[in-house]
Amino acid sequence: MGKHYCAEIISVGTELLLGSTINTDAADVSRYLSELGINVYYHTVVGDNPERLAAAVLLARGRADIIITTGGLGPTCDDLTKQTLASSFGRRLIFHEELAESMRRYFREVIGAGEMTENNLQQAFLPEGCEIFHNEWGTAPGCAFEEGGVHVLMLPGPPRECNAMFKSCALPYLRRLSDETIFSHTLHIVGVGESAIEAKLRELMNSLSNPTLAPYAKEGEVMLRVTAKAGSVAEAEELLEPVTRQVREILGDVVYGMDVPSLEKAVFDLLLEKKMTLCTAESCTGGLIAKRMTDISGASAVFLGGAVTYSNESKTAILGVPRQLIEEKGAVSEEVAREMAIGARRVFGAELALSTTGLAGPEGDGRNPVGTVFVALATEDGVLVRRLQRAVGRGRVRLLAANAALDMARRFAQIIDKR
Amino acid sequence: MGKHYCAEIISVGTELLLGSTINTDAADVSRYLSELGINVYYHTVVGDNPERLAAAVLLARGRADIIITTGGLGPTCDDLTKQTLASSFGRRLIFHEELAESMRRYFREVIGAGEMTENNLQQAFLPEGCEIFHNEWGTAPGCAFEEGGVHVLMLPGPPRECNAMFKSCALPYLRRLSDETIFSHTLHIVGVGESAIEAKLRELMNSLSNPTLAPYAKEGEVMLRVTAKAGSVAEAEELLEPVTRQVREILGDVVYGMDVPSLEKAVFDLLLEKKMTLCTAESCTGGLIAKRMTDISGASAVFLGGAVTYSNESKTAILGVPRQLIEEKGAVSEEVAREMAIGARRVFGAELALSTTGLAGPEGDGRNPVGTVFVALATEDGVLVRRLQRAVGRGRVRLLAANAALDMARRFAQIIDKR
């Protein structure tokens, strides 16, 4: 197997040193590098200051084979990464008319802002002889070059652009450096905590060396990454297959998918396959489920719409929940969740309707403890209701309630064949 | 004014270099330091490796007056920060029986774990002659000492412990060093890009040295930070006031607030003050506006609810948009946006209704280019409609449409007095 590369990440931006921005780029890039089998020994953060950036680059050159910078590629006079790196490595900056043209087009067609201001042209200068990383998610292009055995890669600072450019440009560049393939699958789990998953899998995890198995938590879900090193993707796949199978056997149906982008996408794909439609009636989640379903492009093939019935009046006016029921049982009750789902299913004419009603907090209702949420699924065959009770803070209560609702739709659709 | 202190933050932990943990400690500590008027020129992250940590400390000694470490103070054999720093500065580690006793008590009374394992005693060793930072939020104490004009402060890695210990121990320690304060305000801007803002403010930015003015972009908005150094908060405020006033005069009403957490919170506060209520009818934003409004705790005082009418049928069934109008003009049209807002206002009984209908992409409708969104605001006095056209990718089209809608509500509420 090949050389062991060692990388250093230099993040540039005074906002990072002021603490107004958290350095997620360094964590994201590190995770990608770790998947590639590239060691990272240092992260360095410097401000928008060419002398201190140059000093950090000089240091990094002496101890890393790969230097990855994030930030400082934009159009403002603070953005000095390219100039500093080019000068550190003795390269001129060259103007690329085709980049300038594509920026003008971006301003005209994408932003619709008419004329681009002059300062944007700074972004069309790149170090001589570099590989251009085109930016389809913003205006600042990135780049890569090699000088004296050190590879320099520059990525933009906005996390969306940094991540997208890493995946589509930096990843292929770095893969070419190594003849070893690292390949991984991610199993996605909902409804069980990380420590419970770890307890169930500890024995298996300890017995493995290649592939490795690592759980991590994100957005109220748990991911399990299974990673193999091999000479080719096919060989890696052969190592991965028995392990993912074994994990699925141990964990059962809390695993909602492998290498899927999100729970909502898993629900969407399943409903599309089963030719079923979905709608929502949300109180405490306030549109979060609808928002997540419509994050998916082409959502309309499955998702017909939703009602955010935050006030009691709207629960009655739009969904037909009897006012008396709300008065008797309270808006946060199994009965109201049930009627909300039934009402939504009728109004939107969908096969499945999800509803949520609960106390995200911090205020309570005098009947239920904060963190109580009722989640219902209305189907042709009847209504299912689940009660959640986890006082984990407003944002997280809403997130877990949305996850629980989407998971109910997934589990139901999995066992049902449309008649 | 006093000496200008310059600090460097060294965060220790292999999990940071693997990207499995995001370095929020460095951001939190930086923010506190910036408030104290202490400059931060570098953040460094190293793994649980004594040689590389010692190298980072040696470097930091040469360029900083204050070195703050986070992490590596715990009981496991990976935790080497104290040993490395003590040895770098030529200090012995001294065992503190009273710390060992308070750890035993913590295990007995707080964790309820009975006997403490032996490895925890490592945490009772601290550099000779240091000031002890007691840890009331966990077991690992921190500490501070001064050697050759360099102040060394060590804080634990878990963000909750790091933050609490900074506030109660490091802050008083550092306040004793300095008689200067840094104070800043952030102006929030919506609807204009970063480069356009910079072009308008370049002259002012270049003419300033204290306060300074720096723009940055985040989530489809632009923030402008105005930062002053002075002997007290009151003096800093005196320096800041004319600059923030001048910026507001130059930029006009695209500035939606100062030091506010979000656009939706600014809208919420304004509507609450004006005693106005809001509802939504969302097609392309799919619940994003409702979700953002209900992120705010106590949202129900302003936000009555919303409809996510993704299908044409639901636009008719719930909002009463005439089917013929949709057929004639298309779902993405000024007319449908207008009728959606009017319908929502009627159904939810709110003073203001926002609607969105558009093509977030990637698919088009054959009538409008991708990125076309109509945003409407229905009020007692009539309906306002704006057309947006920016093909910036699905997620961003939705974000910018939600921002534009919220901004319409803000602008209207600002000029209207409730009758």
Task: Specify if A1 maps to a domain.
Answer: no
Domain boundary (B150, B175, B200) is at B175
Q: What is the largest CA-CA distance in chain A?
A: 78
The answer to whether the Cβ–Cβ distance between B42 and A43 falls below 8 Å is: no
Region B31-42: what's the mean pLDDT?
Answer: 89
pLDDT score, position A16: 95
Q: Is the pLDDT of residue B359 over 70?
A: yes
Pair type for strands B372-379 and A372-379: unpaired
Range of the domain at A372: 263-415
Residues of A in contact with B202 (CB under 8 A): 77
Q: Are residues B102 and B171 in the same domain?
A: yes
Task: Specify if B159 maps to a domain.
Answer: yes
pLDDT score, position B292: 96
Residues of A in contact with B406 (CB under 8 A): none
Partner-chain residue, chosen from A17, A110, A313, that has the shortest CB–CB distance to B390: A110
Q: How far is residue A40's CA from residue B8's CA, in Å, rounded to a whole number?
A: 20
Partner-chain residue, chosen from A19, A40, A317, that has the shortest CB–CB distance to B347: A317
pLDDT single digits (tens) A261-283: 899 999 999 999 999 999 999 99
Q: Are residues B17 and B165 in the same domain?
A: yes
pLDDT score, position A418: 54
Q: Are residues B289 and B395 in the same domain?
A: yes
Task: Specify if A110 maps to a domain.
Answer: yes
Query: What is the CATH number for A83?
Result: 3.40.980.10
pLDDT score, position A97: 92
pLDDT score, position A109: 75
The answer to whether the Cβ–Cβ distance between B19 and A29 falls below 8 Å is: yes
The answer to whether the Cβ–Cβ distance between A318 and B305 falls below 8 Å is: yes
b/e code A325-363 from CB counts within 10 Å (16+ = b): bbeebbbbbebbbbbbbbbbbebbbbbbbbbbbbbbbee
Partner-chain residue, chosen from A17, A27, A285, that has the shortest CB–CB distance to B22: A27
Contacts of residue B357, defined as CB under 8 A and 6 or more positions apart, other chains included, come to B283, B284, B331, B332, B333, B336, B337, B340, B373, B374
User: Per the omega criterion (within 30 degrees of 0), is the bond before B158 cis?
Assistant: no
pLDDT score, position A24: 96
Q: Higher model confidence: residue A260 or residue B393?
A: A260
- Burial, B109: exposed, middle or buried (Cβ in 10 Å; 0-12, 13-18, 19+)? exposed
Q: Are residues A294 and A346 in the same domain?
A: yes
The answer to whether the Cβ–Cβ distance between B31 and A18 falls below 8 Å is: yes
Domain count, chain B: 3
Query: What is the CATH number for B187?
Result: 3.30.70.2860
Phi-psi region of A18 (alpha: psi -120 to 50; beta: other; left: phi over 0): alpha
Closest CA to A140 of A190, A82, A225, A183: A82
pLDDT single digits (tens) B151-190: 999 999 989 899 999 999 999 999 888 777 778 899 999 9
Q: Is the pLDDT of residue B300 over 60?
A: yes
Domain boundary (B153, B175, B197) is at B175
ipTM entry: 0.74
Closest CA to A360 of A334, A326, A398: A398
| Nearest chain B alpha carbon to A217 | B20
Q: Are residues A201 and A302 in the same domain?
A: no
Q: Are residues A67 and A166 in the same domain?
A: yes
Q: Are residues A249 and A294 in the same domain?
A: no
Q: Are residues B221 and B141 in the same domain?
A: no
Domain boundary (B175, B209, B241) is at B175
Q: Are residues B191 and B273 in the same domain?
A: no
pLDDT score, position A191: 87
Closest CA to A339 of A322, A360, A351: A322
Distances (CA, A) of A208 to A200, A213, A227, A228, B405: 15, 7, 11, 10, 53
Region B271-282: what's the mean pLDDT?
Answer: 97
pLDDT score, position B1: 38
Q: How far is residue B107's CA from residue B111's CA, in Å, rounded to a whole number?
A: 5
pLDDT score, position A419: 47
pLDDT score, position B114: 63
Phi, psi of B46 (to 5 degrees): -130, 160
Mean pLDDT of chain B: 91
Q: What is the pTM of this model?
A: 0.76
pLDDT score, position B136: 83
The label of the residue with tokens 């002890």 reads B132
- Helix/strand/coil (H/E/C) assignment for every residue in B57-112: HHHHHHHCCEEEEECCCCCCCCCCHHHHHHHHCCCCEEECHHHHHHHHHHHHHHHC
Cβ(B332)–Cβ(B368) below 8 Å? yes
Query: What is the CATH number for A301?
Result: 3.90.950.20
Q: Are residues A94 and A237 in the same domain?
A: no
CA angle B305, B336, B323 (to 5 degrees): 100
Contacts of residue B101, defined as CB under 8 A and 6 or more positions apart, other chains included, come to none
| Nearest chain A alpha carbon to B289 | A287
Closest CA to A413 of A258, A278, A211, A252: A278
- Burial, B98: exposed, middle or buried (Cβ in 10 Å; 0-12, 13-18, 19+)? exposed
Closest CA to B345 of B388, B390, B376: B376
Task: Specify if B399 maps to a domain.
Answer: yes
- State which residues of chain A have pLDDT below 70: 1-3, 111-114, 417-419
Please name the amino acid found at residue B156: P
Q: Are residues B409 and B287 in the same domain?
A: yes
Q: Are residues A304 and A195 in the same domain?
A: no
Closest CA to A294 of B47, B163, B70, B308: B308
Q: How far is residue A143's CA from residue A135's CA, in Å, rounded to a whole number?
A: 10
Query: Best interface-test mutation with B: which of A8, A10, A15, A18 has the largest number of B CBs within 10 A?
Result: A18
Task: Specify if B1 maps to a domain.
Answer: no
Partner-chain residue, chosen from B308, B349, B392, that has the shortest CB–CB distance to A306: B308
B96 to chain A, minimum CA–CA distance in Å? Answer: 33
pLDDT band at B231 (very low <50, low <70, confident <90, very high): confident
